[in-house]
Amino acid sequence: MQDKTIQFSKFLSYVLRHKPEAIALTLDQDGWVSVDDLLLQANRHGKKLTREILEYIVENNNKKRFTFNTEHTMIRAAQGHSTQQVNLNHISQTPPEFLYHGTAIRFVDSIRQQGLLAGNRHHVHLSDNTETATNVGARHGKPIVLVIEAQKMVESGYLFYLSDNHVWLTEHVPAKFIQP
């Protein structure tokens, strides 16, 4: 079941964060789609996704990437969207003094020059602990954890948002706010 769950989780990330049109889905501006529509279109496109598997993934995904509405009739990705169908209206929040960003050592020189950029996503993703940041960085090679001076950014006018799955989001982190 674990291998199947990982495959479905990757599929859900793809269609709910990046390419809903790949299976003829349309997300609303907040990223929600009907569970029935998702299941129908997934199965029409060769993915044997059931409500039981979907419930299991949402409940057990260690990163809590997906969220149901209270009735479990709608689903969305918690954050990480690159699709233009979604424009999450997060409410700005005050972050802790420091946040962390995990990356691979090979990207550090570029980050020191340009800062952290959202790339094709809506936001830069940050965590409030080094363990999560280390795990994220390890996905891309030998990890390094960058310390972000979040409070100094707020004092300079930058906004931060907290996603449903407790990932801190901001549009850009200038290099001057990344500790050496």
- How does residue 79 score in pLDDT terms, banded at 50, 70 and 90? confident
Least confident of 84-93, 105-114, 141-150: 84-93
Quick check: 1 pLDDT over 60?
Answer: no
Helix/strand/coil (H/E/C) assignment for every residue in 30-88: CCCEEHHHHHHHHHHCCCCCCHHHHHHHHHHCCCCCEEECCCCCEEEECCCCCCCCCCC
The model's pTM is 0.63
3-class DSSP state for residue 161? Answer: strand
What's the mean per-residue pLDDT of the chain?
A: 90
Each residue's pLDDT tens digit, 96-105: 999 999 999 9
Q: In this predicted model, which residue has the larger pLDDT, 80 or 98?
A: 98
Q: Tens digit of pLDDT for each residue in 31-67?
A: 899 999 999 999 999 999 999 999 999 998 877 889 9
Rounded to 5 degrees, what are φ and ψ at 122? -80, -30
Which pLDDT score is estimated for 3? 67
